[in-house]
Chains A and B, each alone.
Chain A
Amino acid sequence: MGYEWDFGVVFRDFDLLLLGLVNTLKVTGLALLFGVPLGLVLALLRLSRHGMIRIPVGIVIEFLRSTPPLVQLFWLFFALPILTGINITPFIASVVTFSLQSSAFFAEVFRGGIVSIEKGQWEAAKAIGMDRGQSMRRVILPQAVKRMIPAFLERVIELMKTTTLVATVSYADLLYEANTIAQATFRPLEVFTVAAAMYFAVLFPVSLFVRRLERRLGRTGEGTVH
């Protein structure tokens, strides 16, 4: 006991932590950029009427959702170079893993939103002569997207938390930098506490925003999907 806290050492290397945070946001942003459109495609394929499409896509989604992201990351990082002969950097392995991993979750958000729209909307679209694709694009999706926003943002929070795994393949994200500084300064208590606070500072406002949004959507009588 009687430990003397010294946050000075953390702030001497604060630029490194900030750089780490930027890298964390970079991986999160890129995974979103690829994961969201891919998720929409997967959701539409999973809703297909053809079993030949629906079932394999369903299996892929379930597999990505039911295995730990860390295993997926290691698999890609170690296996892909051996299988394809292409050497990949920790950065690329991370972006690919988290794009795929998050796409499976986004797919379920999209699907939940789409199936939450009442059947009458489909029928109405059909009655005015739209085909399935048009009904989806013009009638169903625009309504569904609004209900999905909270669940979607919830997934973004989860995604950013999951990106900490990249530290295990030596990509210099916030956690990796914190670990390096902690080892160099022998001040793990201060360093890890500050790193946690930095994650919190980014994620907490998003959480608050999600909650407000859910309340607002709830009040206007529009359900949200989970």
Chain B
Amino acid sequence: MEHVWDFESVFTNWRLLLTGLGNTVLLAVVCLAIGLFLGLFIGAARYSKNRLLNVPASVFVEVFRNTPALVQIMWFFFAFPIISPFRIDSFTAATLGLSLNTAAFCSEIYRAGIQSIHRGQWEAAKALGMRYGEQMRRVILPQAMRRMIPAFMNRAIELTKMTSLASVIAFGELVHQAKTISTIEFNPIETYTVVGFIFFVMIWPIAIAVRGLERRLSRHE
């Protein structure tokens, strides 16, 4: 069977692809920002001694880590609107699903990073008269952050790949745009090949940077 490759029919639709790329990046950036922010508080709540904080935080983390992201997105799109006080469009549903998913994973990264800091650092900060919040903010987090960066970058990679799931609820990111193009032009092979490459070009440099960072960190410590 001879297939005549026709990439031109993909590139004539570059506007659709560009919109898709914009939406993919937007979704990834928004979810990463929310996930990183929420993750810190969820992580802190999970390891607090107060059961009213740590039990719900643990349940949240376990639920979001142990159910598929696609189920989460579909839940927020099809199920949540029934009890939601506000309207949910596909972007909101995808953002809710992916940010909470990312928050759950990030909270674990914060925990591992904070626990990796030697106890002497806490004691030293305490000896200087700092309160818990100050110890955390001024002494522990700045040191832990450096060690967490590769793990957060890995999360960013996973998240960028997961944004493709939003195509299932018709959010106009790259894969959804690819569906549209391949339906108009009957060229699924070329379109998905191009979209695959776009993702690769976005993600691979981050993967290389992670490896470089990890090597540098392991040499220092």
Contact = CB atoms under 8 A, between A and B. Distances in A.
Interface of A: 1, 3, 62-63, 65-72, 74-75, 78-79, 82-85, 157, 160-165, 167-168, 175, 179, 182, 188-189, 191-193, 195-196, 199-200, 203-204, 207
Nearest to A206: B66
Given A71-B192, A83-B1, A66 B69 contact: no
A66 B164 contact: no
A63 B165 CA distance: 19
A199 to B, nearest CB: 5
Majority-rule SS of B interface residues: helix
Contact of B74 (A62, A69, A79, A192): A192
Which of A69, A78, A83 is packed against the most chain B CB atoms within 10 Å? A78
Given A63-B200, A84-B1, A79 B71 contact: no
B203 A66 contact: yes
A161 B67 CA distance: 7
A162 B165 CA distance: 10
Interface stretch (B10-18, B32-40, B43-51, B78-86): B78-86
B204 A62 contact: yes
15 contacts: A65-B207, A66-B157, A68-B175, A72-B196, A83-B189, A84-B1, A157-B66, A161-B67, A164-B68, A175-B74, A188-B78, A192-B71, A196-B67, A196-B72, A203-B66
Nearest to A74: B192
B82 A189 contact: yes
Interface string B190-220: 0011011001100110010000000000000
Nearest to A195: B71
B189 A75 contact: yes
Given A63-B200, A83-B189, A164-B68, A68 B75 contact: no
Contacts of B195: 71
B3 interface: yes
Interface in B128-169: 157, 161-165, 167-168
Contacts of B167: 70
A101 to B, nearest CB: 11
Contacts of B72: 196
